[in-house]
Structure 1
Amino acid sequence: MISGAAQADVGVLVISARKGEFETGYERGGQTREHVQLAKTLGLSKLFVVVNKMDDPTVNWSKERYDEIESKMVPFLRSSGYNVKKDVQFLPISGLLGSNMKMRLDEHMPLLEWACLFEVLDAVEIPPRDPKGPFRMPIIDKFKDMGTVVMGKVESGTMRKGDSLLVMPNKFKMHGWHAQVKVLVIYCDEDKAIHAGPGENLQVKLSGIEEEDILSGFVLCSVAKPIPTVTEFTAQLLILELLDNAIFTAGYKAVLHIHSVVEECEIVELLQQIDPKTRNP
């Protein structure tokens, strides 16, 4: 879920309307609650909350049940940092029957105007991207296929066939410079491309590096403006919940997720506490 959400611009949170199933996901420690918090911290600012199984016998397209779910979710979404009026939209659907997915509802809940799922997805504004920025493509996977192939989504900049780039972090240095890789082939949706810009999901065949020297989370980046690599950094954290009996202090061990990086880390020092309302120390 984390690696998928880290590549997405918009989230679709699917909730079951069936009696008992929504409550299980919504209660403390439930998956609905967890996924909302993860989506927000991973940068998914826009969310479609899809209330599924509206056709279930325990629901039977009940507007009361739909309104109950929305009224419980709104305060939680707000407390998780979402601007509910601007960035969240609720939709009733039946995935089993395909109701309100491709075509608008007409026979169910007829007194209300519902947009269907595909409509709202097609109407989403594409977030601004920077095709002229420094090239950045976090690598989510790699494999061998007559050479070294890496996969990922371009976050910034533009890549062309024949470009020289860096894979960072990079353990190979020659004459004080990091060893460069060359772009041999770019595949976009399994079709060969000459160039690709931000927002594209790509497979890229590289020369100058072996597949075993690349890990998920490495970044393919520009030579002129390589991405910095660090072993320590200062972070601002929002603590959602801790394991039972755990104390968050120097020496606390955790797992860090950034785009496709999954890395064990340790808290070295707590610098200051920040008021979540004022954002001041």
Structure 2
Amino acid sequence: MNFAREEAGGVLTVRLTRDRKLNAVTGDMLDGLRAAVAELADRDDAGALVITAAGRYFTAGADITALPVGDTGPGVRGSDFRRAYRGLHELFDRIEAVEKPVILAAQGPCLGIGVELAASCDFRFATERTTFGLPEVRNLAALPGSGGISRLTRLIGPHWAKWVAMAGQTLDAQRALAAGLVHAVYPEDEFDRRVREFALDLAGQPREALGLAKLLVDAAATADRTTARDLDRIANSALIASSEHQAKLAAFRKFR
């Protein structure tokens, strides 16, 4: 097993544990992530998912000898490669689509597929020794094609995306924070606790409102302003009749 699963207080945690290979991602690690995302979606008592790691790296990237993305090289049809590769894309799409928060907590360097995974999550945290990089162009003469360009550009804009994806430059934790890639940088000795506290707080939020907020934020990133505001009103018109809203409203009135 190259990963461990933990659960507490409505928070599911998947931890990469392949430190001997710097947590280079394998097919079974991806399967563990798929199972965790499916469990998060299906379980009413699961409110958030944390993806983290143990050891020197969050991940050194994909283990290209153990990652099922199909054959490469001369004579391989592009359509065949894309069909095999789609399974990886679909995992990141599911993380983005699940109507519950997914948190990436990178305790160390995060490269290649790790950045693509991070970009598909809702929240990202780093320690002071965390770095982020996309070495695919320089090292493989290929692209970080599972969101390493598209999602990363949406998060940090073309200015920094070119710095990372084209120039192959590394963002240290503070620069990643300034660029908007991570939400916070915590000291290593506080990291697990601070991430856990954040995840527990999210898991305790009203589920329907939190899920709709995630959908609407992502929709607003690409919709025109009028459409985005219409979606806000439509979503809220459903929420005001919910039992969660009524309970919160009654508690507020009682407090006043």
TM-score, structure 1 as length reference: 0.28
Q: Which has the higher strand share?
A: 1
Q: Which has the higher helix share?
A: 2
Higher gyration radius (CA): 1
TM-score, structure 2 as length reference: 0.30
